[in-house]
């Protein structure tokens, strides 16, 4: 979207009152009133197309706000106040209804007949088919995420008629329908996209990068990369309840101190993704509402790499787990935001994950385990942290280093630049002792285990391998949670993982959002802004 | 007839020609240095969940699978066609990023410099004419404070006092409050563009946003200018030609501004050139605090994620800017002091 073009739209759409005031090019006072929300964030949106290579995480919010998926998740009360998406409830977005065949291999979706794109054209099954083919074909993260739901190839998608869309799976999976509600499989106006596709660019990546073409609740009014994104409500939206805000301005303010001043003064209605420290302090204020939602299926962990010889000794791993100063870390690194993951019962009776482990800080026990181990005199080990996440990793590492010294383990902190981290920690998996923060979008324990405890998978940065865990994950990953075998299997894998400790859970981090003059905030697993339910108060 | 301007024009062209090797050097060094940055951009931009195949796709798309020397020639070829490449982190072409962000930084830096010259030069002159007086002490305090307070600190204090406590400054959220629309783009300087449109509402909005960051940066740049003015004025005032002028009975004013100040201006201009360059660098922190979409924060972010094209484009733009700046300063010398000529070289 070029600047001049969007300006014209802006004047045309939002400023009916402006024509009366020929000299005032500023928005009329009414526009600043109850229907415009201003939200500040420290992150930069670098593309309006999630499927494009190089699109960063903050940009996913465009896929959420401007595009629709077939289905979405419901809403529930969040722990720690506010609302949260509800993984267990699937609600319609563009699909009116859907059926799953008896063998679980064929999913048939009936589209809402009144659903239209912003240009007025009808949303058809062809659009859905094209969009899904795009998501599985472009490679990179979108295709990886599609694969998690069992969507691998374009030939799995079929448009039966204008309003009926069908997916054929290779095998039934409980992850398939939830994976259609994540931001990736969003539905694009394929007529517009194809008109702007070229031979080199069959998926119209260049065009959709700057010009969204969707049917979602908001249109992009203007986008100045590095500055702001302005959403304008799509009054014809049929995907859900019409947003209360006519216009939402997402302004990028890099300095957390400035963001804090803005939200405290009430000049902006929401500050998205604030540091834990600010969240703890702002929560004390009367007029600012702070939502600190523990991020589902996510843990901050201390990982012990099995390729490092001392960590092959079970007693050493337990000694480390008992030496970690959990509460100090939770207070110093997270300012008490999130959820503790220590000091629980050893016996596991439910499938909740992340869960409190049976470990807590106990230096005597740690010393006992060290004495029993093959390394009673301790050893030297590098403790690696990601400089890009230094705000929690650095204090955490220092506290761990201090306590490890008390049981004879001499840890030296190794700081790795953010650009190198992935290669060192996740691809080469060569970091002996390190901090890690994987979180799974699909909220089932087996999905977490698939990524973090199965040999060779990306987030298993400890090179962990346990034949029983491999078999259990294989068996449960696509099994419906209602299956009688599901809960025992999941409990068994948790028991093994917490006994073997390739990852020592520290705490469950929180996503912090401060609101001052807005309501309706809802937490999402993708940790980006969903502007649709927000309203000014 | 053209003789008075002809040697100067020739000198300018000579100067420009001399800067060509510098620019070539900058192109080579910036290319090599960015390649030496730690980290693999293909891995970074493929995203955390990407697999080996998709990383390879990204690598090919970025042209990073080719040998270094070939990458270099592709880069130079693109440069010659005026194509600075595509920034991966911002998703825009580097040329358009620079065109958007450079004016923002320049507007801020120039406003700050004008402000700081407006304070520092009179202050330096006053301090030099009355050494040891309260003006001199004030000058010293201001200079010490200005140089010892880091800009992000001054910025946050100013926001705290004038925005948070007093509420007289506008929200520090960038170049324009969200209620205004950007003025039509001519120069990219909001103050100039808004004035060209005759849109004084927006002009006022842009000016208001500029006040606090400009003061922050001005406080920082005050010190060297004031110190240099004072020192240069003291030297000039104690020289023989001033004594002669005073003995000849010239008015105090004429002596001070006609002779002493004009001679003192040379080192001041030199300092100004240096201050301008480090102010553009120091901008980064001011930009972060005031959410100013400038070039400094752009370069830092690009550097962190190994965004080669953006870093190279930034370095090149800065190099060209400094070549131009040096040229302007050299020309100013000849205007101020006719004894300095190009012909002597």
Taking the Cβ of residue B163 and every Cβ of chain A, the question of whether any pair is shorter than 8 Å is answered with yes
Full strand arrangement of the beta sheet holding A95-100: A95-100, A106-111, A164-168, A157-161
Residues 6+ apart with CB under 8 A from A456: none
pLDDT tens, residue by residue, A150-165: 999 999 999 999 999 9
CB contact under 8 Å between B306 and A251, yes or no, is no
Structure tokens at A197: 């596709």
pLDDT tens, residue by residue, A433-491: 999 999 988 999 999 999 999 998 889 999 999 999 999 999 999 999 999 999 999 99
pLDDT tens, residue by residue, A323-361: 999 999 999 999 999 999 999 998 999 999 999 999 999
Contact between B73 and B64 (Cβ < 8 Å): no
What is the predicted pLDDT for the residue at B5?
A: 57
Distance CA(A196)–CA(A201), nearest Å, equals 9
Q: A328 and A241 share a domain?
A: no
Distance from CA of A162 to the nearest CA of B (A): 33
CB contact under 8 Å between A47 and B159, yes or no, is no
Distance from CA of B202 to the nearest CA of A (A): 7
**Does residue A240 form part of some domain?**
yes
CB contact under 8 Å between B46 and A140, yes or no, is yes
Full strand arrangement of the beta sheet holding A289-294: A218-224, A228-233, A247-252, A36-41, A270-272, A510-515, A289-294
What residue segments make up the domains of chain B, in order of their start?
Answer: 6-80, 98-304
**Quick one: closest CA in A to B47, which residue?**
A141
Q: A132 and A238 share a domain?
A: yes
CB contact under 8 Å between A227 and B174, yes or no, is yes
Q: A415 and A530 share a domain?
A: no
Classify B31 in phi/psi space as left (phi over 0), alpha (psi -120 to 50) or beta.
alpha
Query: How big is chain B, counted in residues?
Result: 345
**Quick one: closest CA in B to A32, which residue?**
B179
pLDDT at B2 over 70: no
Taking the Cβ of residue B89 and every Cβ of chain A, the question of whether any pair is shorter than 8 Å is answered with yes
The CATH number of the domain holding residue A73 is 3.40.190.10
pLDDT band at B282 (very low <50, low <70, confident <90, very high): confident
Structurally, how many domains does chain A consist of? Answer: 2
Q: A231 and A88 share a domain?
A: yes
pLDDT tens, residue by residue, B220-247: 888 889 989 999 999 988 888 888 888 8
For A95, A414, A420, B300, the CA distances from B48, given in Å and listed in that order, are 30, 21, 12, 22
Taking the Cβ of residue B178 and every Cβ of chain A, the question of whether any pair is shorter than 8 Å is answered with yes
pLDDT tens, residue by residue, B110-138: 999 999 999 999 988 888 888 888 888 88
Residues 6+ apart with CB under 8 A from A470: A454, A455
The proportion of chain A whose per-residue pLDDT surpasses 70, expressed as a percent, equals 94
pLDDT band at B48 (very low <50, low <70, confident <90, very high): low
Q: A200 and A349 share a domain?
A: no
pLDDT tens, residue by residue, A371-429: 999 999 999 999 999 988 999 999 999 999 999 999 999 999 999 987 788 888 988 89
pLDDT band at A126 (very low <50, low <70, confident <90, very high): very high
B172 vs A contacts (CB less than 8 Å): 253, 258, 261-262
A253 vs B contacts (CB less than 8 Å): 172-174, 291
The proportion of chain B whose per-residue pLDDT surpasses 90, expressed as a percent, equals 17
For A138, A310, A317, A381, A502, the CA distances from A375, given in Å and listed in that order, are 50, 7, 11, 13, 18
CB contact under 8 Å between B293 and A143, yes or no, is no
**Does residue A27 form part of some domain?**
no
Taking the Cβ of residue B156 and every Cβ of chain A, the question of whether any pair is shorter than 8 Å is answered with yes
Residues 6+ apart with CB under 8 A from A218: A65, A66, A231, A232, A233, A234, A243, A248, A531, A532
pLDDT at B337 over 80: no
What is the predicted pLDDT for the residue at A34?
A: 66
Beta bridge partners of A249: A38, A230
Question: Beta strands A228-233 and A247-252: pairing type?
Answer: antiparallel
**Does residue A30 form part of some domain?**
no
What is the predicted pLDDT for the residue at B342?
A: 55
Other beta carbons within 10 Å of A170:
11
What is the predicted pLDDT for the residue at A363?
A: 94
**How much is the mean pLDDT over chain A?**
90
State yes or no: cis peptide before A354, omega within 30 of 0. Answer: yes
For the residues B1-20, what does the mean pLDDT come to?
Answer: 71
Q: Where are the alpha helices (DSSP H) in A337-389?
A: 363-372
What is the predicted pLDDT for the residue at B336?
A: 79
| Closest partner CB to B44 (pick from A25, A251, A419) | A419
For the residues A522-533, what does the mean pLDDT come to?
Answer: 94
For the residues A221-230, what does the mean pLDDT come to?
Answer: 89
pLDDT band at B201 (very low <50, low <70, confident <90, very high): confident
What is the predicted pLDDT for the residue at A18?
A: 37
**Does residue A452 form part of some domain?**
yes
CB contact under 8 Å between B57 and A23, yes or no, is no
Q: A142 and A215 share a domain?
A: yes
The CATH number of the domain holding residue A357 is 3.10.105.10
Mean pLDDT highest for which of A269-283, B144-158, B263-277? A269-283
The proportion of chain A whose per-residue pLDDT surpasses 90, expressed as a percent, equals 79
Contact between A461 and A431 (Cβ < 8 Å): yes
For the residues B296-305, what does the mean pLDDT come to?
Answer: 84
Distance CA(B72)–CA(A29), nearest Å, equals 53
| Closest partner CB to A140 (pick from B50, B89, B306) | B50
Taking the Cβ of residue B190 and every Cβ of chain A, the question of whether any pair is shorter than 8 Å is answered with no
What is the predicted pLDDT for the residue at A531?
A: 94
Distance CA(A9)–CA(A390), nearest Å, equals 42
Domain B98-304 has CATH 3.40.50.300: no
A458 vs B contacts (CB less than 8 Å): 48-49, 51
Q: A237 and A314 share a domain?
A: no
Q: A322 and A468 share a domain?
A: yes
| Closest partner CB to A54 (pick from B45, B199, B293) | B45
Q: A244 and A311 share a domain?
A: no
Beta bridge partners of A158: A166
Distance CA(B263)–CA(B277), nearest Å, equals 23
Residues of chain B numbered 102-121 and touching chain A (CB < 8 Å): none
Q: A349 and A461 share a domain?
A: yes
Taking the Cβ of residue B308 and every Cβ of chain A, the question of whether any pair is shorter than 8 Å is answered with no
Specify the residue for token string 């939770």: A330
Distance from CA of A415 to the nearest CA of B (A): 13
The 8 Å CB, 24+ separation contacts for B161-166 are: B162/B212, B163/A261, B163/A265, B163/B212, B164/A261, B164/A264, B164/A265
pLDDT tens, residue by residue, A192-204: 999 999 998 999 9
**Does residue A449 form part of some domain?**
yes
**How much is the mean pLDDT over chain B?**
85
Structure tokens at B293: 């979409």
Residues 6+ apart with CB under 8 A from A419: B37, B38, B39, B40, B41, B44, B304, B305, B306
What is the predicted pLDDT for the residue at A393?
A: 95
**Does residue A281 form part of some domain?**
no
Q: A503 and A520 share a domain?
A: no
**Quick one: closest CA in B to A40, which residue?**
B173
Taking the Cβ of residue B169 and every Cβ of chain A, the question of whether any pair is shorter than 8 Å is answered with no
Residue to test with chain B: of A227, A265, A525, most B Cβ within 10 A: A227
- Domain of A248, in residue numbers: 3-10+37-263+515-536
Would you list the DSSP string of A406-436?
HTTEEEEEEEE-HHHHIIIIIIS---SEEEE
DSSP B183: P
Q: A314 and A453 share a domain?
A: yes
């Amino acid at each position: 979207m070029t600047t001049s073009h969007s300006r014209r739209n802006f004047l045309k759409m939002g400023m009916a009152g402006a024509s009366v005031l020929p000299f005032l090019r500023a928005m009329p006072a009414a526009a600043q009133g109850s229907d415009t929300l201003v939200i500040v964030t420290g992150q930069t949106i670098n593309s309006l197309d999630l499927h494009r290579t190089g699109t960063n995480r903050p940009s996913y919010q465009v896929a959420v706000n401007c595009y629709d998926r077939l289905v979405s998740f419901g809403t529930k009360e969040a722990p720690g106040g506010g609302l949260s998406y509800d993984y267990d409830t699937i609600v319609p977005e563009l699909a009116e209804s859907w059926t799953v065949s008896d063998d679980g291999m064929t999913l048939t979706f009936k589209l809402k007949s009144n659903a239209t794109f912003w240009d007025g054209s009808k949303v058809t099954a062809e659009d859905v088919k094209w969009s899904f083919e795009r998501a599985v074909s472009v490679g990179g993260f979108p295709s990886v995420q599609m694969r998690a739901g069992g969507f691998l190839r374009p030939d799995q998608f079929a448009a039966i008629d204008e309003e009926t869309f069908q997916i054929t799976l290779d095998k039934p999976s409980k992850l398939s329908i939830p994976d259609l509600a994540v931001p990736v499989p969003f539905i694009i106006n394929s007529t517009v996209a194809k008109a702007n596709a070229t031979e080199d660019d069959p998926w119209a990546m260049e065009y959709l990068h700057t010009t969204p073409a969707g049917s979602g609740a908001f249109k992009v009014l203007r986008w100045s990369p590095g500055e702001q994104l302005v959403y304008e409500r799509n009054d014809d939206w049929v995907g859900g309840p019409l947003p209360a805000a006519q216009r939402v301005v997402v302004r990028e303010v890099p300095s957390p101190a400035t963001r804090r001043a803005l939200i405290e003064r009430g000049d902006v209605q929401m500050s998205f993704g604030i540091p834990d420290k600010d969240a703890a302090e702002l929560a004390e204020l009367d007029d600012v509402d702070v939502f600190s939602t523990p991020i589902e299926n996510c843990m901050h962990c201390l990982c012990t790499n099995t390729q490092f010889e001392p960590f092959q000794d079970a007693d050493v791993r337990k000694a480390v787990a008992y030496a970690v100063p959990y509460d100090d870390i939770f207070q110093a690194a997270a300012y008490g935001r999130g959820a503790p993951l220590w000091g629980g019962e050893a016996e596991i009776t439910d499938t909740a994950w992340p869960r409190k482990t049976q470990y807590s800080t106990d230096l005597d026990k740690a010393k006992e385990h060290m004495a029993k181990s093959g390394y009673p005199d301790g050893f030297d080990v590098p403790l690696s942290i990601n400089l890009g996440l230094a705000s929690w990793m650095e204090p955490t590492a220092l506290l761990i280093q201090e306590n490890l010294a008390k049981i004879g383990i001499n840890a030296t902190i190794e700081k790795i630049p953010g650009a190198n981290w992935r290669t060192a920690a996740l691809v080469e998996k060569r970091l002996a002792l390190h901090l890690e923060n994987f979180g799974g979008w699909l909220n089932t324990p087996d999905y977490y285990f698939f990524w973090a405890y199965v040999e060779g998978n990306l987030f298993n940065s400890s090179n962990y391998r346990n034949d029983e865990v491999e078999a259990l994950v294989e068996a449960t990953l696509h099994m419906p949670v209602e299956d009688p075998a599901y809960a025992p299997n999941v409990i068994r894998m948790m028991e093994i993982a917490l006994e073997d400790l390739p990852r020592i859970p520290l705490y469950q981090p929180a996503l912090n959002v401060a609101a001052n003059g807005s309501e309706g905030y809802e937490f999402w697993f993708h940790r980006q802004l969903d502007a649709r339910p927000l309203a000014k108060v | 007839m053209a003789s008075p301007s002809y040697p100067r024009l020739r000198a300018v062209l000579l100067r420009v020609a001399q800067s060509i090797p510098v620019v070539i050097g900058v192109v080579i060094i910036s290319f090599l240095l960015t390649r030496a940055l730690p980290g693999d951009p293909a891995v970074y931009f493929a995203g955390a969940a990407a697999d080996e195949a998709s990383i390879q796709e990204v690598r090919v798309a970025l042209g990073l699978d080719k040998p270094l020397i070939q990458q270099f020639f592709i880069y130079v070829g693109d440069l010659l066609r005026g194509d600075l490449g595509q920034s991966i982190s911002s998703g825009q072409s580097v040329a358009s990023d620079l065109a958007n962000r450079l004016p923002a930084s320049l507007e801020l830096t120039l406003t700050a410099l004008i402000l700081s010259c407006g304070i520092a030069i009179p202050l330096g002159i006053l301090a030099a004419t009355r050494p040891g007086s309260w003006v001199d002490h004030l000058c010293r305090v201001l200079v010490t404070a200005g140089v010892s307070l880091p800009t992000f600190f001054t910025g946050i204090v100013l926001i705290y006092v004038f925005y948070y406590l007093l509420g007289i400054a506008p929200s520090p959220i960038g170049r324009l409050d969200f209620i205004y629309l950007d003025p039509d783009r001519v120069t990219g300087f909001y103050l100039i563009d808004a004035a060209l449109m005759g849109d004084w509402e927006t002009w006022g909005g842009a000016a208001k946003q500029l006040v606090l960051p400009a003061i922050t940066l001005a406080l920082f740049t005050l010190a060297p200018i004031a110190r240099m003015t004072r020192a240069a004025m003291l030297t000039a005032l104690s020289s023989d030609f001033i004594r002669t002028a005073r003995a000849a009975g010239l008015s105090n004013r004429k002596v001070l501004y006609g002779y002493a100040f004009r001679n003192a201006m040379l080192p001041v201009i030199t300092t100004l050139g240096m201050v301008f360059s480090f102010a553009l660098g120091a901008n980064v922190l001011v930009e972060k605090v005031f959410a100013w979409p400038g070039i400094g924060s752009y370069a830092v972010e690009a550097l962190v994620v190994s965004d080669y094209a953006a870093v190279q484009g930034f370095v090149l733009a800065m190099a060209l800017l400094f070549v131009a700046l040096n040229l302007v300063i050299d020309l100013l010398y000849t205007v101020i002091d006719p004894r300095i000529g190009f012909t002597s070289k």
